[in-house]
Amino acid sequence: MPSVGLTACLLWGAAATYCFFEAWMAFVELIACAIGIIRNGRKFHRLLGIVYQRFSRLLLFSLGLILLFAVFWVKMGLGRTPSETLAFLITASLMMLIVVPTVKSRIDKIWMDITEKE
């Protein structure tokens, strides 16, 4: 059954990295919204809607990350052997190569949404 554990660790690495990235970006976007509210209080209600969306994403992906670790680490007991850890790290690293290049465009997009004229 080692191949099932390695396959699960491969999936776990990709899913955990994606959940972490999405939660972190939601947090960064919440900070951008707070700056937007401080700089321009007239758009408070529109920005409050964006804050709600980003907080919901932060909560969803944070809970997803916690659930992933609870299932794979605690319940299934995976990630304790060197091969499982390596499988996790390889897919996590590959996933980072996919998601990190999108950071600048996502920050630019949220900043444009916050600073646009009414």
- The pLDDT score that the predictor gives to residue 118 is 52
Give the pLDDT of residue 2: 62
| Segment (H or E) for 113 | helix 103-115
Model confidence at 40: pLDDT above 70: yes
Helices (H), 41-81: 44-69
pLDDT at 52 over 60: yes
pLDDT confidence band for 111 (50 / 70 / 90): confident
Q: Are 92 and 16 in contact (CB under 8 A)?
A: yes
Average pLDDT of the segment spanning 25-53:
86
Give how far the C-alpha of residue 64 lies from the chain's centroid of Cα atoms, to the nearest Å. 9
Q: Which of the two residues, 49 and 64, has the higher pLDDT score?
A: 64
Write the pLDDT tens digit of every residue in 83-103. Answer: 999 999 999 999 999 999 999
Q: How far is CA 47 from CA 27, 31, 53, in A?
A: 15, 12, 10
Task: Give pLDDT tens digits for 60-88.
Answer: 999 999 999 999 999 999 888 999 999 99
Helix 82-99 vs helix 2-39: crossing angle, to nearest 10: 40
Rounded to a whole number of angstroms, the CA Rg of the chain reads 18
Is the model's pLDDT at 1 over the cut of 70? Answer: no
Overall average pLDDT of the 12-19 stretch: 95
